[in-house]
Structure formats: C-alpha cells, structure tokens
Amino acid sequence: PILIDQEGGRVNRLKNIISFENLTSEFFGKKFIKKPKEFNFFYKLFIDKTTYLLKLIGVNINTCPVLDLRNKGSSSIIGDRSFSSNPKIVSKIGDYCINYHHNNGLGTVIKHIPGHGLALFDSHLKISVIHNKKKYLIKNDFLPFKRSKSFFAMTAHLIYSSYDAKHTVTHSKKIIRDVIRKKIGFKGILISDDISMKALKYNLYENATKALDAGCNLVLHCNGKIKEMKKLSKIIPLIDVFTQKKTSQFYNFLG
C-alpha cells in the first residue's frame, strides 16, 4: 500500500506538478447543489486527472474523501475540505469519490471516522472533546460514513464524551467496536490518523500500541522522522489475520 493525501484544495501534495488549490471539496459541494450536471462532469474529470497522476507516480491509495461535516464555530482544520454541512450531500459526493477512484483502480480512505466536523481545535495541536448527544451524532456526523464501500477508513483523534469520556476514538475500544464497526457498519481496514499528532497524549510507542489494542488494524506515523519509524517498526506486532485477509482483497482489486 502506497498512500498519499491528495484531496485537492489546500491538501495538494502534487502542487509542484499541477494546481488544484481552487478545487476544494466545498467548491464541488456547492456545484452539486446549484449545477448538478456541471458537478457530474467536472468532478469526474477532477478524479480522473488526480488518479491518473497518482498511478503515474506509483500511488495506489488516496486518503480521501473527507466525510466530515462543516460546522460553524468549529476549527478551520476541516473547513473547505468538507463537501457540506448536510450529511446526506456529504454521503452522496463521498460515494461518487470512492466509486470514481475504484473505477480507476485506486483505493480510498474515508476520514475522519466517525466525524471530525465538530472539533473545536486542530488535532495536530490539541485534543477536542465533543459533548453532543448520541442521537444527534448518529443523525448527523456519523451518517456520511455509514455502509461505505471504501477499503480503508481513518480514525479521528477526538473524544466523544457521550460514548467514551476518557479515550480518543483512535484509542477507544468502545467507539471502534460499537460505533465504527456496529452502528456505522464499516467492514474494511481501520487506520489511525498520524500517531505523532499532539491530540494523542502518550509517547509514540504507547500511541501506536493503544491504537492497535483498541481495534485499529494499522497505524500511521507521518512526521517523516526516520529514526522514530525504525524504532516503531521493531516493536509493533505483525498484522493480524483479519488485516492480512482484507489487504489480500485489496491487492486482488488492484489486479
């Protein structure tokens, strides 16, 4: 698996090759509402060009779509990376994104499951605690992730106090089991967000092992510090049978 963050908009790792800065998820969300025919044409073209470039450089997984809702008063870390504040619109465009990637032979990673839109802080820097009630979360933030056909999903480094007042989603057995696996029904490989982010309070080793113990199948370490990566690679256990099976399914999909 070779992953890249290539959402478009400000999350554009290929900016030295092609400019996607104006093609934000918000742009496509508005286009979807106001001019659906234009949306269908331009969004497919956008994904086709993106996947062509990714395959050209050897990437086989794009860590998108962002299925988080846009909420007033929340941190700008999501902002225009969200398609909409309407969960049904986010869900529909997310399905387009996944299907277009799959049709072009690339995997996707839905993020940040079960929803990052209510976060008050950037989880790269600080933890956010979400106090909304379960009923609200199920009807809103959790809805876009439900029954997704994506092979992969990425966890949110947030605390949902109505489910688990102590642990972030990444470290919460209860949320991964009861919300992500059962309520949302995600059946694929669950990946942690970057374990070097400051929203996680432990050291790298504990952040990684606690994520795996909670039910994440893989952990991401993305700060580029190779010495840390080498240490982690020696102490993190081999992938389990479930992850091996799902990875094989993904490889079969790639052909």
What is the total residue count of the chain?
A: 255
Q: 5, 124, 131, 213: which is the annotated catalytic residue?
A: 124
Close Cβ partners of 75 (under 8 Å, ≥ 6 residues apart): 119, 120, 121, 122, 128
Close Cβ partners of 26 (under 8 Å, ≥ 6 residues apart): 9, 70, 79, 80, 81, 82, 83, 84
Close Cβ partners of 16 (under 8 Å, ≥ 6 residues apart): none
Alpha carbon distance 2, 212 (integer Å): 20
Residue pair 107/51 in contact by the 8 Å Cβ criterion: no
Alpha carbon distance 10, 21 (integer Å): 6
Tokens of 38: 């234009």
Torsional class of 105: left (φ above 0), alpha (ψ -120 to 50), beta (otherwise)? left
Tokens of 143: 């809805």
Quick: pLDDT tens for 97-122.
Answer: 999 999 999 999 999 999 999 999 99
User: Catalytic site residue 167?
Assistant: no
Residue pair 84/70 in contact by the 8 Å Cβ criterion: yes
Question: For the chain, what is the mean pLDDT?
Answer: 96
Q: 68, 141, 164, 193: which is the annotated catalytic residue?
A: 193
Alpha carbon distance 1, 59 (integer Å): 8
Quick: pLDDT tens for 203-226.
Answer: 999 999 999 999 999 999 999 999
Quick: pLDDT tens for 145-200.
Answer: 999 999 999 999 999 999 999 999 999 999 999 999 999 999 999 999 999 999 99
**CA distances for 87 relative to 17, 24, 37, 167, 192, angstroms:** 33, 17, 21, 25, 23
Quickly tell me which residue has 């979400």 as its tokens: 130
Alpha carbon distance 85, 91 (integer Å): 11
* 42-65: average pLDDT: 97
pLDDT score recorded for residue 69: 98
User: Catalytic site residue 124?
Assistant: yes
